[in-house]
Each structure stands twice: as structure tokens, then as C-alpha cells.
Amino acid sequence: MLQGQRHGEKGGEPLTSNHIILLALGGNLASALGTPAQTLNIALNLLEKRGAVIRDVSRFYNTPAFPAGAGPDYVNAAAKIDVNWSPLAALKILHEVEADMGRERVQRWGQRTLDLDMIAYDDIVVPNPEIHKTWRELPLDAQIGSTPEELILPHPRVQDRAFVLVPLADIAADWVHPVLGKSVKDLLDALPEADKLSVKPVE
């Protein structure tokens, strides 16, 4: 398991040593700079320019829009990046890169040029296990109309999403969820087969 802050420490404390972020990338609209796949590559370059070290990148995958019928298929990927940013600074930088690529935060789960989701930051759990549990167990219909006002890590829905876990398994299959105690491989194996088969490598 990746090492980081103790569970429950706040996400905004300044950090002096490097930390590993597991990142999910996606998009289903062309940006001003290219196709969704090209946009993901440019986003990684922009993160490098801001000081991230790209340790690994998954294959790119085509995934049906979520929820079903919400738009064109997505291109999804995962990356492992090494940073010296605090969790809150990382979130700010991810939002800046999304904005650089034309992302407009208008509709939750709407179509977008770029989505950068922080899946995990080392093995920290923020803001605390109780709030994490609330968001992790939120029903799907409630998720559509609800957005947390604070950073929640690990991403509270990672265990439900094949479009995140399939790419993540390329680069971090052995990473263990610090709350659920299961590896990425275990979480992926637990998903319905149809969900996994819907995530297909870009040819």
C-alpha cells in the first residue's frame, strides 16, 4: 500500500515530500487542441509543466457515457503521478488544467472536454471515515444531484466504476483501498462482467 498521511488528517496541510496520486482521466468532446485522446495526452503534459512526474499511464479505453445516453462515448485512462502538492493544491491544479482544455463545470456527469479525477492520494482518507462512508454509500439518484463541498479521498465511487478500475488495473492493480481493504484487482473482479466488457481498448 502506498504510504501517506495518517487517516483522517486534513487534505490541505502543506507537504514537503513527494506523494503519489492515482488519477482518472476522461473526455467525450473534442477540445480546441484535438480529439478526446489528444486532449488527455495534452493534459498530462500540462501536469508535467506544473511539476508532476508522470510515473505510469494506462492504455486508453472507449467507454459508454455515464449515465447511459448522456452523450458520445468517452475516452478514459488512468495515470500515476508523483507530486509535491498538498491534496487541496492538487485539486486546484487539476481544475486549472481542465479549464485550460475548455472544461466548463455546468452539469454533473455532463459531456465534457476533460475530466481529471483524483482517485487516491497515497493512502489518506479525508475528511474522515464517517463522511467518506456517507458519500461512498450514497444512492445513484442522490449522486446525480449532489456534489460534496469538500475533498473526499479515496474517490468515493471508485469501487463502482469499471471505466476507472479497468484503466487503473493497468498501472496500479495491487493498490489497496485504505477503507475497503481490497486491491484494484479485487474491486474490478467484483464488478458485473457486462460493466467490464463495456470498457474497450482504443484501437
pLDDT one-digit tens code per residue, 161-198? 999 999 999 999 999 999 999 999 999 999 999 999 99
DSSP state of 56: E
Of 128 and 147, the one with more pLDDT: 128
Sorted by sequence, the CB contacts under 8 Å of residue 18 that are 6+ apart come out as 53, 82, 83, 84
**What are the boundaries of each domain within the chain?**
19-201
The pTM (predicted TM-score) of the whole model is: 0.85
Quote the CA–CA distance of 84 and 87 in Å, as a whole number. Answer: 9
Please give the Cα distance from 153 to 116 (Å, whole number).
Answer: 14
Rg (alpha carbons) of the chain, rounded to whole number:
16
pLDDT of residue 65: 83
Give domain 19-201's CATH architecture.
Answer: 2-Layer Sandwich (3.30)
Residues 83/91, Cβ–Cβ less than 8 Å: no
DSSP element (H, E) containing 63: strand 61-63
Please check whether residue 7 is in contact with residue 76, taking contact to mean a CB–CB distance below 8 angstroms: no
CA dihedral sign, ordered 20, 126, 183, 92: negative
